[in-house]
């Protein structure tokens, strides 16, 4: 494993979970300021299907931790980083869906 990894410890609907994030399984998505709530880290959880994973939204990490994680990912040079002025329709729909669920996410 690369030395440029980080671990997200989250409480999800399935309980406490730890996700080790590397350049192979995590990507950063950022948007214009008016869409910053849709900024997220996408963590893949299936090695064979790169579309299966979880969205870790900015508000889940909190502003300070999200910025810290973003800087780490950027400075390592090993993570895919995507800047899109506006979120894709599917990302925005997932965000709205996740907001409609009353999930207890904590760091």
Spatial strand order of the sheet with 40-44 comes to 53-57, 40-44, 26-30, 81-83
Phi, psi of 64 (to 5 degrees): -65, -45
pLDDT tens, position by position, 4-42? 899 998 877 778 889 999 999 999 999 999 999 999 999
Residue 3 CB partners (closer than 8 Å, separation 6+): none
Separation CA 42–CA 78 (nearest Å): 15
pLDDT for position 46: 78
SS3 call for 40: strand
Q: Judging by DSSP bridges, how do beta strands 26-30 and 40-44 pair with one another?
A: antiparallel
Confidence band (pLDDT; 50, 70, 90) for 87? very high
Q: What is the Cα–Cα distance from 58 to 65, expressed in whole angstroms?
A: 9
| pLDDT for 1 | 52
Averaged pLDDT, 48-71: 90
Give residue 13's pLDDT: 74
Q: The dihedral of CA 53, 64, 38, 70: what is its sign?
A: negative
pTM for the structure as a whole? 0.85
């Amino acid at each position: 494993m690369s030395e440029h990894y980080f671990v997200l410890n989250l409480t999800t609907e399935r309980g406490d979970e730890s996700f080790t994030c590397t350049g192979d399984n995590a990507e950063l998505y950022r948007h214009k300021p008016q869409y910053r709530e849709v900024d997220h880290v996408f963590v893949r959880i299936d090695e064979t299907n790169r579309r299966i994973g979880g969205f870790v939204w900015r508000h889940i990490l909190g502003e300070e931790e999200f910025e810290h994680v973003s800087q780490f990912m950027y400075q390592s040079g090993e993570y895919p980083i995507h800047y899109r002025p506006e979120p894709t329709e599917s990302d925005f729909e997932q965000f709205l869906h996740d907001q409609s669920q009353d999930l207890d996410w904590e760091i």
